[in-house]
């Protein structure tokens, strides 16, 4: 999957509080590994995730080898949006 770096960061920032921890817990990963997936550069506390960044607009194009984390992030965002709408 190809996505701009900016869009990847927007998804990360759209996660509700505790979203990174939930992803890490559900996928049995370190929280830092999840943060690295979304563009963090702190590798000593988390694995390097399979991705490749091509220079370009909006921070460049990120090629994600594995979409599991981003798909779960989108699901969590959708759930939190649905929950917020249900409470209004």
Range of the domain at 6: 2-86
Question: Using 50, 70 and 90 to split pLDDT, how confident is the model at 67?
Answer: very high
Q: Is the pTM of this model over 0.85?
A: no
Instruction: Tell me how far apart the alpha carbons of residues 23 and 70 are, in angstroms, rounded to a whole number.
Output: 9
Mean pLDDT of all residues in the chain?
Answer: 86
Q: What is the 3-state secondary structure (H, E, C) of 37-84?
A: HCCCCCCCCCCCCCEEEECCHHHCEEEECCCHHHHHHHHHHHHHHHHH
pLDDT at 57 over 90: no
Q: Pick the more confident residue, 13 or 52.
A: 13
Residue 1 DSSP class: -
pLDDT at 48 over 60: no
If one counts the domains in the chain, the total is: 1
Q: What's the average model confidence in pLDDT over 34-42?
A: 81
The separation between CA 72 and the C-alpha centre of its own chain, rounded to angstroms, equals 8
């Amino acid at each position: 999957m190809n996505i701009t770096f900016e869009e990847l960061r927007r998804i990360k920032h759209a996660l509700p509080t505790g979203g990174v921890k939930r992803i890490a817990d559900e996928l049995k990963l370190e929280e830092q590994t999840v943060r690295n997936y979304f563009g963090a550069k702190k590798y000593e506390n988390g694995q390097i995730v399979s991705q490749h960044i091509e220079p370009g607009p909006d921070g460049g194009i990120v090629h994600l080898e594995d979409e599991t984390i981003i798909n779960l992030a989108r699901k969590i965002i959708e759930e939190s949006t649905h929950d917020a709408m249900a409470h209004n």
